[in-house]
Structure 1
Amino acid sequence: MGEFWSTTVLNYCIALGVVLGGTLLGGIGAFFGNEPPMDTMLRMSEHLKIWALVAALGGTFDTIKSFEVHILGGEMSQVFQQLIFILSAFFGAHFGTVLIRWFIQGDL
């Protein structure tokens, strides 16, 4: 069960890191590209959410394949574990977006 929780935390942190890192570096790029960095950062934080999920889960095909194998095999506990991995990655990506909004004083 220790591996389950470490994977859950790892998925959360990876998704959080993708959103924060991508948004902050995108804001720097927008500054050098003579675009409004704060508007760009808000927009990018929303667009990076799905990519953060994909990065944290290691590609969506593996997750979908896992669902198929475990559902057809009757291993519902494994299906619930995969759902928790997806939720932890989602919460990490969402928290990254909330942090960016708070950081630039955007609308929550």
Structure 2
Amino acid sequence: MSFWSAIIFDFFVAFGVVVGGSIMGGIGALIGHYHLTPMATMEELVGQLKIWGIVAALGGTVDMLRSVETNILEGHLGLVAQQVCMLLSAFVGAHAGYLLIIWLIRGDLP
């Protein structure tokens, strides 16, 4: 996979985990008669799912952090920069999903 393909892929995986997880959680709250309303459940879940969106997009943060450490120690700063870009892409995707759900629930952005 090329660098730009990986950047786009990481963005959308993180975005999808946050958006899909919160919507499915809201549906589950509706079907299961959860103590919160579906919208309140979605709002609660969306904040919790941001970190999991990033982790899912990167395939596990421990491996990525180990790889960054190895590349820094070996002096491969170009690879470190690519990995940091992938991390930022996953973060932006997760945050964009968060903002979308908050906007859909509240009608405004935080």
The TM-score, its normalising length taken from structure 1, stands at 0.94
- Structure 1 runs not aligned, ≥5 long: none
Matches within 5 A, 1:1-108: 3-34=2-33, 35-105=36-106, 108=109
Partner Cα distance (1:106, 1:71) in 2? 44
Identity %: 50
Opposite residue 87 of structure 2, the aligned amino acid is: I
Partner Cα distance (1:39, 1:107) in 2? 15
Partner Cα distance (1:104, 1:64) in 2? 35
> What secondary structure is seen at the aligned counterpart in 1 of 2:97?
helix
> What secondary structure is seen at the aligned counterpart in 1 of 2:2?
helix
Partner Cα distance (2:3, 2:82) in 1? 8
Question: CA deviation digits over 1:30-76, x for unaligned, max 9?
Answer: 11222301111011000000000000000011101111110011011
Provide runs of 4+ in structure 1 moved above 3 Å.
none
**CA-based RMSD:** 1.2
- Structure 2 runs not aligned, ≥5 long: none
Partner Cα distance (1:61, 1:97) in 2? 24
Displacement of 1:107 in angstroms is 5.0
Aligned length: 107
Displacement of 1:105 in angstroms is 2.1
The TM-score, its normalising length taken from structure 2, stands at 0.92
